[in-house]
Amino acid sequence: MKNHHVREVLFSSRQIGARVRKMVHDMAEGCRGEDLVMIGILRGSFIFLADLVRELYSQDIHPRIDFMTLESYGAGTESSGAVRIAKDVGMDVAGTDVLVVDDILDTGRTLTFARQHLRELGARSVRTCALLDKPARRVVPFEADYIGFTIEDRFVVGYGLDYDGRYRELPHIACVTFQE
């Protein structure tokens, strides 16, 4: 782990809460009448997914929930390139309407891989959702169906996002600054 500081708050927990409510409001109509399965990409999505589904409940939408663990990042902040399934979904998604949930859309490799994989498992539709989007970092062209906030090319932690396994528990999203 490099010498670093976690200081500047980019989005407060209140700002995140307001945005999540708005996102769910926008996605709710499209989800009605579907056999909705929400699949969180572990580990970064766990807090975001938990907030989304409780907000969906208030819109009277009751998805099934599962997770898959995908790995592309090693330790640190740079993607290794390849995406690997460390743990696949446990339920049969054939014929269902899947909404994949991730913390952040960065190079685009993870969500590209997840969408392709879930289509191969027979999902009827696959949509994608990420709380954060860093379009400047894209390597594979990819647009998510739902995005919370678009940000600059900064490394961020909190609300599920980690630096080397740490800071996922922060209720807000903060920037990490690195000393050389």
Binding-site size for Mg ion (CB under 5 A) equals 1
Residues forming contacts to ligand IMP in the complex (CB under 6 A) are 41, 44, 72-73, 79, 102-110, 155-157, 161-162
> Shortest approach of Mg ion to residue 40 CB, angstroms?
13
Q: Measured from the CB atom, is 55 or 102 closer to ligand IMP? A: 102
Q: What x-and-dash track marks residues 31-70 binding Mg ion by CB under 5 A?
A: -------------x--------------------------
Pick between residue 61 and residue 163 the one whose CB is nearest to ligand IMP. Answer: 163
72 binds, among ligand IMP, Mg ion, none (CB under 5 to 8 A by kind): ligand IMP
**β 173-178/125-133 pair status:** unpaired
Is residue 169 a contact partner of residue 163, using CB atoms and an 8 Å limit? Answer: no
From the list ligand IMP, Mg ion, none, partner contacted by residue 115 (C-beta under 5 to 8 A by kind): none
**What 3-state DSSP class applies to 109?**
helix
Known catalytic membership, residue 106: yes
One DSSP character per residue, 64-86 reads EEEEEEEEEE-SSS-EEEEEEEE
If the CB atoms of residues 11 and 73 are measured against ligand IMP, the closer one turns out to be: 73
Rounded Cα gap, residues 99 and 97, in angstroms: 7
How many CA atoms, within 13 angstroms, populate the side-chain half-sphere of residue 46?
A: 13
The smaller minimum CB distance to Mg ion, of residues 44 and 108, is found at 44
Q: What are phi and psi of 143, to 5 degrees?
A: -120, 125
Sign of the CA dihedral 36, 37, 41, 47?
A: positive
Which among 51, 97, 102, 106 is annotated as catalytic? 106
Among Mg ion, ligand IMP, none, residue 79 binds (CB under 5-8 Å by kind): ligand IMP
Give the Cα-Cα-Cα angle 118, 78, 45 (nearest 5 degrees): 40
Give the binding site for Mg ion (CB under 5 A). Answer: 44
Q: Which residues are catalytic?
A: 106
